[in-house]
Amino acid sequence: MHPMTSNGVVNESVFLRACRGEDVPHTPVWFMRQAGRSLPEYRKLREGTAMLEACRTPDLVCEITLQPVRRHGVDAAIFFSDIVVPLAAVGVGVDIVPGTGPVVAEPIRTAAQVEQLRDLTYDDVDYVAEAIRLLLAELGGTPLIGFAGAPFTLASYLVEGGPSKNHARTKALMYGAPDVWHALCSRLATITSQFLNVQIEAGVAAVQLFDSWAGALSLADYERFVAPHSAAVLSSVQDKGVPRIHFGVGTAHLLGAMAEAGADVVGVDWRTPLSRAADLVGGRPVQGNLDPCALLAPEVVLAEEVRRVLTDGASASGGHIFNLGHGVLPETDPGALTRTVELVHEHSARRAT
């Protein structure tokens, strides 16, 4: 339901308008991994609670999601969770190890193991829906972004058993046992679709599909082994009234294919100029792409980089949502994030027409 102004004009959020390629009074900004990571109030709240346990506790999820919205005045909130939450919810033995990331007890590499991956139901993740309901009551007009990991990125954790540099075992399965690979990705696409649909039914305003590690693939392999599964996820959330953002790292050569998989907005890392990315994604809005390391630079340098991204984004034909090229680094000074929001809003402010 969109709030109406007195003259009956729909007064929708700047972020959602930008996702649809509509005119906006200023460039909207939010940050991947804005919840958690660099915030001292987050670290304090998390003390003594394991990551996955925190993700299953609606009060905590609600508070952690709100922290960066209050502190930085970003134009969107991202739901505090992790890409492995739905996998744990269907019974995969996965834990998030501090300082490492997701670790899978028994890596999945055989057809028999793939068959054991079951569907995800609402009851498996009722705590997610509950946290979203709490958040909608608190967020006012700020839209909430739901998210999930894309089949390739999830498969990489499951096959490798944890974080990986080269995704060697993952690619070995893909090349060596394509039937098992497609069966695995197709199972993951179903679980991911179910997870995103729970979030949409609970009320998120947009969804982002994180295919963080897809950039490790050639275009030919992406199209053959991955795109059909990501497309299945994105089509399962089509026509639900929520924009779909599709993001990966190191994807200059994949941007067109990622757009065609069914994205409304394409996320771009810092390596590709936004104006070029916009051409590659058929004029869809682009999201990005400040280098997260720029937040560690002196303020004058940061300001220059923010302006450069805004100028480049202004020439992106489909419109621009300001973000980082990847997630906030843990050592980032939260003040640099707040300053970036101010700079984006100041420098992109347009007169009402």
* Binding of residue 3 to ligand 1CP (CB under 6 A): no
Task: Give the pair of three-digit tokens for residue 36.
Answer: 């958690």
Tell me if the bond preceding 166 is cis, omega within 30° of 0: no
Q: How far is CA 87 from the centre of its chain?
A: 17
The strand pair at 94-97 and 101-104 is best described as antiparallel
Q: Which listed range, 5-13, 30-38, 183-191, 238-246, lies at the site for ligand 1CP (CB under 6 A)?
A: 30-38
In angstroms, give the least distance from the CB of 9 to ligand 1CP: 32
Query: Is 37 annotated in the active site?
Result: yes
* Binding of residue 34 to ligand 1CP (CB under 6 A): yes
Query: Exactly one of 82, 124, 211, 312 is catalytic; which is it?
Result: 82
Q: Which is nearer to ligand 1CP, 318 or 327 (CB)?
A: 327
Q: How far is CA 3 from the centre of its chain?
A: 26
Interface with ligand 1CP: number of residues (CB under 6 A): 21
Site mask for ligand 1CP (CB under 6 A), range 53-92, x = bound: -------------------------x-x-xx---------
Query: Exactly one of 42, 56, 75, 157 is catalytic; which is it?
Result: 157
Q: Which is nearer to ligand 1CP, 144 or 278 (CB)?
A: 144
Task: Give the pair of three-digit tokens for residue 262.
Answer: 């069914």
3-state secondary structure of 322: strand
According to DSSP, residue 3 is labeled P
In angstroms, give the least distance from the CB of 337 to ligand 1CP: 11
Site mask for ligand 1CP (CB under 6 A), range 138-177, x = bound: ---------x-----x---------x--------------
Give the number of other CB atoms < 10 A from CB of residue 132.
Answer: 25
> Whose CB is nearest to ligand 1CP?
101
Binder among 16, 18, 24, 32 for ligand 1CP (CB under 6 A):
32
* Binding of residue 40 to ligand 1CP (CB under 6 A): no
Gyration radius (Cα) of the chain, Å: 19
Binder among 36, 58, 313, 325 for ligand 1CP (CB under 6 A):
36
Burial bucket for residue 33 (CB in 10 Å: 0-12, 13-18, 19+): middle
* Binding of residue 327 to ligand 1CP (CB under 6 A): yes
How far is CA 242 from each of CA 146, 155, 234, 292, 330, rounded to the nearest angstrom? 10, 25, 11, 27, 30
Task: Give the pair of three-digit tokens for residue 216.
Answer: 């490790």
Binder among 96, 216, 226, 310 for ligand 1CP (CB under 6 A):
96
In angstroms, give the least distance from the CB of 290 to ligand 1CP: 15
Orientation angle between helical segments 227-236 and 178-202, nearest 10 degrees? 20
Find, among 352, 350, 353, 297, the residue nearest to 320 by Cα: 350
Those residues with Cβ within 8 angstroms of residue 17's Cβ, 6 or more apart along the chain or in another chain: 23, 24
Strand locations in 19-123 (E): 77-78, 94-97, 101-104
Query: Exactly one of 37, 56, 187, 284 is catalytic; which is it?
Result: 37
Binder among 35, 66, 173, 189 for ligand 1CP (CB under 6 A):
35
Query: Is 157 annotated in the active site?
Result: yes
- Give the binding site for ligand 1CP (CB under 6 A): 32-37, 51, 78, 80, 82-83, 96, 98, 101-102, 147, 153, 163, 210, 212, 327
Catalytic residues: 33, 37, 46, 82, 157
